[in-house]
Amino acid sequence: MMSKSGVYSHGSQRMRRRLGMLLPPAILVSGVMACEGAVAANLRAGGHEAQCPRCKREVVQDTPRQDNEVAIRYGMKRIEYRCVSCALAEALSEYKDDLTILAPSEVKGRPVLITRKSGRWSVLPKTAVFVGEGRGHAQCHVANRAFSGKAAFQAYIRRNAGLLRNARPRTLGDMLQRAPAIDPPKDAGKESGQER
């Protein structure tokens, strides 16, 4: 449906009724998606608010001020995860070839890029550090994150002192060592009502 100004009027009540849909009143269309460039193309989130394939909990969505969706780019695939540890665990167990993990940092739109190429792992920016604490998957998106540097890490720990009081900055090597031990929780899927 075109308006006079030539812009699609997505929120039209008439269209909503016709489609039998509950369209949100303030759908953010192109503005939200206007990010450009190579990194931006990688950052384009999937169309779904899916479950994490590892822990089966909901992937926490990006907000206007903070990115939360961790993603693995594997060829043309882009699979979302709840936290960087879930993604690393899956990268080690489920994917054989080269891949890139887009781990949200403290700066929106500028993720830490964890790459595996020919079996060798690297991280960009090189100053990146991680918080990786075994707090269970209910809070795994809070206790497992990437940062561009130690200063950002310290600031995050101060903000989440209740949960991460004793956390220390971890390198990618630390995170990779820890990843295989991250098992799916026993109550996997409970959040989505999969239990009988």
Q: Which residues bind other proteins (CB under 8 A)?
A: 1, 8, 10, 15, 19-25, 27-30, 32-33, 41, 44-53, 56, 61, 63-64, 74-80, 94, 97, 189-196
Q: CB of residue 189 vs other proteins: minimum separation in angstroms? A: 8
Minimal distance, residue 172 CB to other proteins, in Å: 23
Residue the block writes with tokens 């959040």:
191
- Tell me whether residue 13 or residue 30 sits nearer to other proteins (CB atom): 30
CB-nearer residue toward other proteins: 125 or 180: 180
Q: What angle (nearest 5°) sits at the alpha carbon of residue 52, between those of residues 47 and 34? A: 30
- Closer residue to other proteins, CB minimum distance, 94 or 155: 94
What is the rounded distance in angstroms from the CA atom of residue 38 to the CA atom of residue 58?
A: 27
* 6: alpha, beta or left? (left if phi > 0; alpha if psi -120 to 50): left
CB closer to other proteins, 26 vs 162: 26
Closest CB to other proteins among residues 40, 151: 40
* Nearest alpha carbon to residue 1 among 20, 22, 26, 19: 19
CB of 153 to other proteins, least distance (A): 27
What's the CA gap between 171 and 191, in Å, rounded?
Answer: 31
Separation between Cα atoms, residue 111 and residue 147, nearest integer Å:
8
Neighbours of 82 (CB within 10 A): 25
How near is the Cβ of 145 to other proteins at its closest, in Å? 20
Say whether 74 sits in a helix, a strand or coil.
strand
What is the smallest separation between the CB atom of 10 and other proteins, expressed in angstroms? 6
What is the rounded CA–CA span in Å between residue 153 and residue 175? 15
